[in-house]
Amino acid sequence: MKVCKFGGTSLASAEQMQKVASIVMADPERKIVVVSAPGKRFKEDTKVTDLLISLADAALSNGDVKEALRLVVSRYEQIALELKLSSSIVSIIEDDLLSRLGTKDEGEREFIDLMKASGEDNNAKLFSFYMQSLGVNAHFVDPKDVGLVLSKEYGNAQVLPEAYENLYKELRNKDGVLIFPGFFGYTQEGTLVTFPRGGSDITGSIVAAAVQADLYENFTDVDSVFAANPNVVQNPMEIEELTYREMRELSYAGFSVFHDEALIPAFKKGVPVCIKNTNNPSARGTMVVNERNYLINPVIGIASDSGFSTIYVRKYLMNREIGFGRRLLEIIEDEGLSYEHMPSGIDDTSVILKGAQLTLEIEARIVDRIEKELDADDVHVEHDFAMVMVVGEGMKKMVGITAKATTGLARAGVNLHMINQGSSEVSMVFGVKATDADKAVRELYNDFFVATKTPVL
């Protein structure tokens, strides 16, 4: 059995849906299809999810709901028309949206999740309807009916353990092709909640793990995962195989193929993942596995992500003060902030976090509290940093990786503000100014892939 997931660009239009149907029908092992909401058809287009957020905002602010609703319905209507489907499916979708709009007074967060999830829910109904028109024994699956139970966290739901048993029992031996909407599930009380945005990948991974699939195919709009961002490095090498841990590190560091939590369910159950291209399904793609041969290429990819800020704290003899780090992090926690890295010296430390969490008021409070409560000699916040990451499980068995990376960055004139290597040694992180990030990625890619002519196997 294969579980396959198709992203928004794969389902953005009638033409794309025809491609998806052909892919599913070409392999009888593709038994469960997880779908996203229709994405962008062209660069300036608007995703259906964004249209739904605008619709929800209009309803909550008593704005022009009629026009916002028309924009959503017309996207489905155009797809249905071009696929020569009965208008009844469009009526079903419009009635569903009107029903959801009627719940706006039951709670804002619940309402927004309910509206956003309609993108995947109605697209699954539409695609199921289309598959049936082709003579395929296809069935729409409601996540509520098959027990996809999640925690009650609007926009950030987590799967509950019992969901796996429920899904196995309900899906494993069902006949036909099952069309499953991504992105959402239900609490034990029956309230709809969504995963973080991009959560259809998470749904696909959960379903694949639950039914113990032989393979989870994640179809997107690229032939494979690349060793670096193609927008930064010209014609980067394709990665044929990488591990779950490497994929998670790369996703965290800015690779847009997956949300960084998406593969955890499949990883825990040992289900292999193949990333493939809807527009070129014959391409080999990238396999994500538990283990790979690290000898040929200890480094598998170079990634970067921007938008970081650093809270710098200096205090003489800080290293001898018991509880200093804990009290510093408590101040950060009190403001509801999460941090990414915390490199330290004997008299100073830095807390690196996503800058979007900081407002001027929060920043001022944090600085004031650290100065007063920790009696720090110097506290200041710096912005506009990027984290450049070198990823590869083979690094832990190779001597000289750090020297090679830092030598290359020095040669490129990139000043390092932080170096951090995780205890797993799967990744090495360099903190640089955001303006130097692309230059750093290009130099590291050249050193680890071009200069050594290393194939990414």
CATH number, domain of 63, equals 3.40.1160.10
For residues 178 and 136, the answer to whether their CB atoms sit within 8 Å is no
Residue 312 contacts residue 382 (beta carbons within 8 Å): yes
Of the candidates 60, 342, 142, the residue with the CA atom closest to the CA atom of residue 52: 60
Residue 5 marked ligand-binding: yes
Q: Where are the alpha helices (DSSP H) in 83-161?
A: 88-101, 108-133
Of the residues 171, 197, 221, which one is the last residue of a structural domain? Answer: 221
- The pLDDT tens digits of the residues spanning 220-239 come to 888 888 999 988 999 999 99
Mean pLDDT of 164-188: 96
Query: Is residue 286, in this structure, part of any structural domain at all?
Result: no
Q: Are residues 332 and 436 in the same domain?
A: yes
Please state the rounded mean pLDDT for residues 269-286: 93
Tell me the per-residue pLDDT of 254-277, one tens digit each, with 9 for 90 and over: 776 766 678 889 989 999 999 999
**Is there a binding annotation on residue 345?**
no
Environment class of 402 (CB within 10 Å of its CB; exposed 0-12, middle 13-18, buried 19+): middle
Lowest mean pLDDT among 82-91, 252-261, 397-406: 252-261
- The annotation status of 8 as a binding-site residue, yes or no, is yes
Last-in-domain residue among 204, 221, 238: 221
- Is 221 annotated as contributing to ligand binding? yes
Q: Which domain holds residue 182?
A: 2-221
373 labeled binding residue: no
How many domains does the chain contain in total?
A: 2
* pLDDT surpasses 80 at 136: yes
| Residue 232 in domain | no
- The pair of three-digit structure tokens given for residue 309, joined into one six-digit string: 């800020």
Contacts of 456 by beta carbon, 8 Å cutoff, 6+ apart = 227, 237, 238, 239, 240, 297, 300, 449
Count of C-beta atoms within a 10 Å radius of residue 366: 22
User: What does pTM read for this prediction?
Assistant: 0.84
The stretch 317-334 carries a mean pLDDT of 93
Structural domain contains residue 52: yes
The answer to the question of whether 394 is labelled as a binding residue is no
Query: pLDDT tens-digit profile of 99-128?
Result: 999 999 889 999 999 999 999 999 999 999
Considering 177, 198, 221, which residue would you say is the last residue of a domain? 221
Q: Is 391 exposed, middle or buried (0-12, 13-18, 19+ CB in 10 A)?
A: buried
CATH number of the structural domain spanning residue 427: 3.30.2130.10
448 is in an annotated binding site: no
* Assigned domain for 211 exists: yes
Residue type at 21 in one-letter notation: A
Is the confidence at residue 457, as pLDDT, over 80? Answer: no
